[in-house]
Amino acid sequence: MLSIDLVPCLSDNYAYLLHDPVSGAVGIVDPSEAPPVLAALAARGWKLTHIFNTHHHFDHTGGNIPLKEATGAVVIGPKADAHRIPGLDTGVGEGDTVTFGTETGGVFDIPAHTTGHIALYFAASKAVFTGDTLFAMGCGRLFEGTPADMFAAMRKLEALPGDTRVYCGHEYTESNGRFALHVEPDNADIQAEMVKVRALRAAHEPTIPSTIALERRTNPFMRAANAGELGARRAAKDSFK
**Binding partner at 223 among Zn ion, Fe ion, none, C-beta below 5 to 8 Å by kind:** none
Cβ proximity to Zn ion: between 132 and 193 the closer is: 132
Q: Which stretch binds Zn ion (CB under 5 A): 29-37, 74-82, 129-137, 186-194?
A: 129-137
Cβ proximity to Fe ion: between 169 and 209 the closer is: 169
Strand pairing partners for 4?
18
57 touches Zn ion (CB under 5 A): yes
Distance CA(165)–CA(38), nearest Å, equals: 25
Cβ proximity to Fe ion: between 10 and 232 the closer is: 10
Let me know: does 165 contact 126? Beta carbons within 8 Å. Answer: yes
19 touches Zn ion (CB under 5 A): no
Let me know: does 45 contact 22? Beta carbons within 8 Å. Answer: no
Nearest distance, CB of residue 55 and Fe ion, angstroms: 8
**Which of 20, 132, 149, 215 touches Fe ion (CB under 5 A)?**
132
30 touches Fe ion (CB under 5 A): no
Q: Which stretch binds Zn ion (CB under 5 A): 52-60, 196-204, 206-214, 232-240?
A: 52-60
For the segment 146-175, give every residue that binds Fe ion (CB under 5 A): 169
59 touches Fe ion (CB under 5 A): yes
Q: Which stretch binds Zn ion (CB under 5 A): 36-44, 49-57, 170-178, 181-189?
A: 49-57
Let me know: does 26 contact 48? Beta carbons within 8 Å. Answer: yes
Let me know: does 174 contact 19? Beta carbons within 8 Å. Answer: no
**Binding partner at 234 among Fe ion, Zn ion, none, C-beta below 5 to 8 Å by kind:** none
**Which of 132, 149, 193, 215 touches Zn ion (CB under 5 A)?**
132
Q: Indicate which residues carry an active-site annotation.
A: 55, 57, 59-60, 113, 132, 170
Q: Which residues bind Fe ion (CB under 5 A)?
A: 59, 132, 169
